[in-house]
Homo-oligomer: A and B are copies of this chain.
Amino acid sequence: MRMGEGVEWVLHSLLTLGWLGDGEPLPAARLAAGNDLPPAYLNKQLQALVRAGLLTSTSGPRGGFRLARPLSEITLMDVVAAIEGPDEAFRCTEIRRRGSGAAAPDSEFAEPCAVSAAMRRAELAWRRELAAQTVADVLAAADSHAPSAGRRVRRFHGRD
């Protein structure tokens, strides 16, 4: 099982926007340069955040992406759902109904498949933990370990 790289990319992009602080838009090309990422593909990923309502975009000169709401109101769950999609990692294909189970009465399938339920329980714990952490929490943790990161980012983008 593998999570797309886009999640990591946009999380660092959100941190950058948070460090800049002002509500000024930042183009995807600048965002990519600051994190050494492919500009065009990062742009594509950021579009997903716009569709999810986490960012707003502006075209033309002085345009770019800006936060739609404070980082403290954006959870990791929001970000993962925006990039990876809303459906679960484990998908039940109702194997229990097939093969030897085909002869079973429908009443036996009233409850969800036990395998699916067990996997769903684990995945729910994952989602709960993602929803419990905001990007602002991550930014605070990063600041506590590397206090000058924010200043470097602001300087890189000429906003200090």
Contacts and interface: CB of A to CB of B under 8 A. Distances in A.
Interface string A69-92: 000000010001000110001111
B108 A146 contact: yes
Count the copies: 2
For chain A, give the interface size range. 35 or more
A133 B122 contact: yes
Given A12-B96, A95-B36, A118 B145 contact: no
A148 B108 contact: yes
B100 A152 contact: yes
A153 interface: yes
A96 to B, nearest CB: 7
Contact of A121 (B33, B95, B129, B148): B129
Interface of A: 1-5, 7-9, 11-12, 15, 33-37, 76, 80, 84-85, 89-93, 95-96, 98-104, 108-111, 113-115, 117-119, 121-130, 133, 137-139, 141-142, 145-146, 148-149, 152-153, 155-156
